[in-house]
Chain A
Amino acid sequence: MEWNWDHAFAVLPQLADGLVVTIQATIVASLLAYVLGLGIAILKMSKSKFTRVALYWVTEFVRRTPILVQLYVVFYVLPDFGIFLEAFTCGVIVLGIHFSTYTSEVFRAGIDNVPKGQWEAAKSLNYNPLQTWKNVILPQAIPPMIPPLANYLITMFKETPLLAAITVVELFRAADQYSNSHYTYLEPMTLVGVFFLIVSIPSAMLAMKLEKKFKQAKTA
């Protein structure tokens, strides 16, 4: 099978459109994963044992089951209950919820790393919980979390092709559609692979640089 440049150039505009959808999905899903993850991390510190245990099993359930099946559940089941969402919305919600169980661990580790004295200091200043979190804990906890959170952003980017299974025309499905109508998988699939590498390798390097930077800042 020879590489055919005609196919390669013909598919490029569709791939570019697909890449836009892929990046949109990654950004929205990651924002959801960060917000939910922080919420889960804070709730996991709750005084009620029931909340902690329930939350542990719910997050473990989400973590131990495939994203693809979770996508199918949301995409096929919600309409039966009269909830009609766009495929893109379904995909973003599932990706966001799935990865919030991972980011919550990052947030928890970051919060645990804030020394106990800081909590006591906030208390001695008579801060209410909102002030304590906003002014004392989060500003210290967030910087070391940035590199691992950036890594999850890259992971989410690489999981977006699963959205193709629920009819979202992102990068992968754009290529697949071209393949099916032109009977060639070589050029579209290779280009999709190249697109992914072009985005994820530099991002991974950037994340590694961030990691080094924060490590130095900590020891300095």
Chain B
Amino acid sequence: MNEVIAFYPILIEGTITTIQLTVLGAILALIISFIVGLSRISKFRSVRVIAIIYLEFFRGSSALVQMFFIYFVLPMWGIYFDALTAGVVACGLNVGAYGSEVVRGAILAVGKEQHEASQALNYSVFKKYRYVIIPQAIPIMIPTFGNLLIELLKLTAVASLITISDLTFMAQIIRVQTALTLEPFLLILVIYFIIASVLVKVVDLIAKKFSKGRNIMTAGDK
């Protein structure tokens, strides 16, 4: 174990890279979730069709394949990403597809009378969604978004396969250099578990805050 601890600088570096990937990927995924999720309920057929193609494409094929495609195939068409950007883009696009379903489901779960009330107040479509529908849909989304965040964190490990020096990559380096197997991998499993558990706690707190005064079940109520 001491031999592994001696590698702590690269383990810390790997942890930072993993957190970076998770945070940047989550921001991208969140933006895509809302764009695609809202497009799914657009009144324009063409917008809905494009959103469905995106969704089926990224949900239907494997994340690892998407990552390799972005990192190895796109450069052949002159689109270059450095490894970290490719990782963030792949994670964001993949998890964003799943997130769009969460956004769509939550918005559809808001009652019909809310739409009627907005109409009675003569709200424009933008104002209706901005001030009435989406604020009520967000508390419904949070617990599921929390689950997706953990999936995203786990997905970042796959990014080590396109040469990103995240935790998993660093563990491989330690394995090759020390010929130890159990210790480096067990150590990073624990680090991943700690990061995930912190994320779960944070999402629970956010869910509690948003559901205050509303009769909505949060992940903590289970």
Identify the A interface with B (CB < 8 A). Answer: 1, 60-61, 63-70, 72-73, 76-77, 80, 158-162, 164-165, 172, 176, 179, 185-186, 189-190, 192-193, 196-197, 200-201, 204
Contacts and interface: CB of A to CB of B under 8 A. Distances in A.
B154 interface: yes
Interface of A (DSSP majority class): helix
A161 B168 contact: no
B193 interface: yes
Interface residues of B, number: 40
Interface of B: 56-57, 59-66, 68-69, 72-73, 76-77, 150, 153-158, 160-161, 168, 171-172, 175, 181-182, 185-186, 188-189, 192-193, 196-197, 200
A177 B155 CA distance: 23
A137 to B, nearest CB: 22
Interface of B (DSSP majority class): helix
Contacts of A80: 181-182
Contacts, number: 114
4 nearest A-B residue pairs (beta carbon)? A66-B157, A64-B196, A1-B76, A185-B72
Contacts of B188: 69
Contacts of B182: 73, 77, 80
A69 B73 contact: no
Given A186-B76, A196-B62, 14 more contacts: A64-B200, A66-B168, A69-B171, A72-B185, A73-B185, A73-B186, A80-B181, A162-B64, A162-B158, A185-B69, A185-B76, A189-B69, A190-B69, A204-B60
Contacts of A67: 154, 157
